[in-house]
Amino acid sequence: MKTMATQLAALRARKKAADTSNPFEKLLPLLDPAVVNTPRAKAVWSKLSHRMVVWLTRTVSQFPWLNHLALAAVIYHDSGPVEPIQPILSLHSFLRWAIPVHYPNVALLNPVEAIIAYFGDPPQGRGDRTWSAYSAIQLHLQAYLQSLPSEERTQLTPFLLPTLVDTPRLAQLRAQIFYQTQAKRKEQSFAVVRDLHALVVMGRRRYQWLANLEAQVQQVVEQAKKREIALPVLIRCQDLDHRQELTFRVWDRLTWITTHLQDYHGDTLKKTSHRNWFFLQLVGTLPDTPWFLRAAELGALNRVKTLSPAARQYLRDCNVSLFQLQGGLIYPNQGIGQTLRRAREIAAGTPEDSRIFFCIEPLLAGAALGLFALVCLTQSGMRIGELLQITGDKACMKIGFFPTFDGQAESFAENPTKLFFWLLYPKGSTARQPYPVTPFMQEALTIWMHVHQRFCGPFIEVSPDHFYFTHHRRFPGKHQFVLQWNGRQILTHAIEACLNFLLLEHRCLDSQGKPIHLTAHLLRHGVAGYLRQQGVPLEEIAALLHQVNLIVTDYYSKPSPQDLFAQVGPFLTRLGEVAEIDPATLRTVGDIQKLGQEALKRFGVLRRIPGGTCAVFTACEVQFKCASCPAYIPDPIRREEVREKIANCVRTAEFLKRSGDFLQAEVQKTHARHWERIEKEMQALAALELMASPFETALKQFGVDNLDEVDDEWLLTLKQQPRLTPGGDFPHD
């Protein structure tokens, strides 16, 4: 057995050595000698990223523009500060669309005409990305060629893309895409502001639930190692909402294969693994609040070569990118991923309770990283590039007097309280600036450090990534980055993947009801808008976000139309109420009586509606908004119905206001004011009926022949007395 293990280890070592060999040696024979021997580029071929070289060798080598893109990549890499993979990818997609469908070859390509057509109708972002990539590569190549002698420049001319010239039409399309992108981002940020508190609560609750479940699994693992129990073992826990009890069956790889030996090849048990992973199987049906269990059922969280169409569709519906991370975050290694995939296939055709299998340790690590990113981004509003700068050394972590902004003096003053803060490089700054660290950020940092200690050991000094870490020039050598995993720096795509996992199936929707793809930049907009909604001055928001231009801060924290209406709506409503008090807006009693008489002559009957009758007997033109209809005839005897309508509108408005629907709340308040106007008309009609017979006869019995002699104050008091309804108990007096 030892000999077999030694042979397998040697085989893995040879395979690893073959994978880490310089891949550009396979690329150079495919290129033209003029491109390979490009001046000052010979030393750059070996510095290209492994991903770039493999992509050029395997994907682009079958297309006629291989030399064009290879030359662009090496020149861009030599003169640019970042890896050119994204511009080269965009340019390759554009060339595949244009050639040979629209143009026979690269030499006959008209880039202006092609990019305008590539924008599409309506314009799409792919055209703008292509223009940016084409222009950037063209500028780098032009600057490089100007430094070469004419002979060498002539040798490289066949491998240059046709010149792109900016035109008014291209500028118009790019501006249209820019404003569309800004409008979409602000629309999404409005939703983030509305649900920011719910997102933070969701992230904290989900991590705690996963940590409690992992603690139960760890207890079972310790007992299994001591051979106190035999796997599989059932464990139970409550779901996220504490409405259902979930049951899981704990397996390890060896127990699963032994139990289902008839479904595996005979040599499966001989294949050793560097670690005996434990995984869970859900017993029973999928709960109402599945979180990641639906993704686990589809196989979207396992490291396999290809995802199923159902898993890809699920990620598209959730507006989440594929979880492309280092091994040990979100998904386990290749071996356990294949074991879980095979376990789902076996359970699908057997009486097993469920087909949902997952390994909990990578998910716990991903949730811890997602929680750390979520808390830091929402508590400080920092950029993700600043989050990547956090190190565990004295150059970053400080305890001291953090300055606060004094609005009256328009300067920073010393705070008498000592605080914990990080010294980081903001965007566009050459000096470190302090970022306050709240207790919630300290808690999230402690959780991440504990998880990293369990699975990877203590933090070590690692080299910054020169291609994807934009601040790598300020961090020469190795540093103890907090965001690291297995000895490598964690980058933006991995952080956002963990963030997406923690907030999977969130309820933050745009105006079309589609889920928003949450990014670090969108959370930064949400924090700015949330603080402005709470009344924080714009200068203090800019100081927190480390922004110099208040115009940018004003754009970040721009209130949504709903928030704006909620703030100014009450003042406009009061203005409308003042206008409605004008007696000229009320109908006269004679107008109401004339309306009823004409309706009786025309239809012979009046339709009964709340608080009165309707003078129209045809289809309702106001959709039964009776209070605002000119055909409404109030009946003073049925005044209680109108008062009930007013009370219902007021209660509904209060409920909608508490629910956050301020617009509909104002609509209900408007309905209440219309019914109040109807009540005023009822009072006028009641006063008129008091002046009619038999009231006139009663006054004559008291010697009052002329009604003009009646005291106005006494008559007004009499008008305000409540009238008796038919069937009521008349008082003795």
Q: Which residues partner with 634 through β-bridges? A: 612
Q: State which H helix or E strand residue 658 sits in.
A: helix 639-659
Record the tokens describing residue 664, joined without a space. Answer: 């509909």
Q: Which residues partner with 436 through β-bridges? A: 421
Last residue of a domain, one of 468, 486, 508: 508
Residues comprising the chain, all counted: 733
74 and 46 co-located in one domain: yes
Question: Which residue carries 């000895």 as its tokens?
Answer: 487
Number of other residues whose CB lies within 10 A of the CB of residue 566: 19
**What b/e string do you get for 282-310 counting C-beta neighbours within 10 Å, with b at 16 or more?**
bbeeebebbbbbbbbbbbbbbbeeebeee
The answer to whether position 722 is within a domain reads: no
How confident is the model at residue 109, as a pLDDT? 92
69 and 125 co-located in one domain: yes
- List the Cα angle 351/357/358 in 5-degree steps: 170
DSSP reduced 3-state for 249: strand
356 and 440 co-located in one domain: no
For residue 362, cis peptide bond before it (omega within 30 degrees of 0)? no
**What b/e string do you get for 361-387 counting C-beta neighbours within 10 Å, with b at 16 or more?**
bbbbbbbbbbbbbbbbbbbbbbbbbbb
141 and 121 co-located in one domain: yes
Q: Which residues partner with 280 through β-bridges? A: 250, 358
Rounded to whole angstroms, how far apart are CA atoms 708 and 705? Answer: 9
How confident is the model at residue 382, as a pLDDT? 93
608 and 679 co-located in one domain: yes
Range of the domain at 640: 582-650+667-690
Q: Which residues partner with 656 through β-bridges? A: none
For residue 100, cis peptide bond before it (omega within 30 degrees of 0)? yes
Give 392-411 as a DSSP string. Answer: SSTTTEEEEE--EEETTTTE
Rounded to whole angstroms, how far apart are CA atoms 681 and 583? Answer: 11
How confident is the model at residue 349, as a pLDDT? 74
Number of domains in the chain: 4
The answer to whether position 554 is within a domain reads: no
The answer to whether position 724 is within a domain reads: no
The answer to whether position 531 is within a domain reads: no
Please name which of 709, 433, 381 lies closest in space to residue 556, comparing C-alpha atoms.
381
How confident is the model at residue 637, as a pLDDT? 82
242 and 326 co-located in one domain: yes
How confident is the model at residue 718, as a pLDDT? 47
379 and 502 co-located in one domain: yes
Q: Which residues partner with 397 through β-bridges? A: 422
E-only strand ranges, 340-437: 357-358, 397-401, 404-406, 411-413, 418-424, 433-436
Rounded to whole angstroms, how far apart are CA atoms 387 and 470? Answer: 12
Last residue of a domain, one of 508, 540, 573: 508
29 and 118 co-located in one domain: yes
333 and 421 co-located in one domain: no
The answer to whether position 533 is within a domain reads: no
How confident is the model at residue 674, as a pLDDT? 82
Rounded to whole angstroms, how far apart are CA atoms 360 and 281? Answer: 11
CA 362 → CA 53, 264, 327, 456, distances in Å?
30, 25, 8, 12
Taking the mean position of all CA atoms in its chain, how far away is CA 232? 39
Please name which of 216, 355, 231, 370 lies closest in space to residue 299, comparing C-alpha atoms.
355
Q: State which H helix or E strand residue 114 sits in.
A: helix 111-119
356 and 223 co-located in one domain: yes
The amino acid at residue 233 is V
How confident is the model at residue 401, as a pLDDT? 60
Rounded to whole angstroms, how far apart are CA atoms 268 and 410? Answer: 71
Mean pLDDT in order along the chain per 10 residues (733 residues): 39 44 76 84 75 88 91 78 78 93 91 93 91 90 85 86 92 92 88 92 95 94 91 92 91 87 71 73 89 90 78 89 78 81 83 85 94 95 93 86 56 59 89 90 93 91 79 87 91 90 90 88 93 90 90 87 76 57 53 75 74 75 67 81 88 83 80 82 66 50 53 47 40 37
The answer to whether position 662 is within a domain reads: no
Number of other residues whose CB lies within 10 A of the CB of residue 96: 13
213 and 112 co-located in one domain: no
The answer to whether position 281 is within a domain reads: yes
The answer to whether position 175 is within a domain reads: no
Rounded to whole angstroms, how far apart are CA atoms 124 and 94? Answer: 13
Q: What is residue 586's DSSP assignment?
A: S
378 and 360 co-located in one domain: no
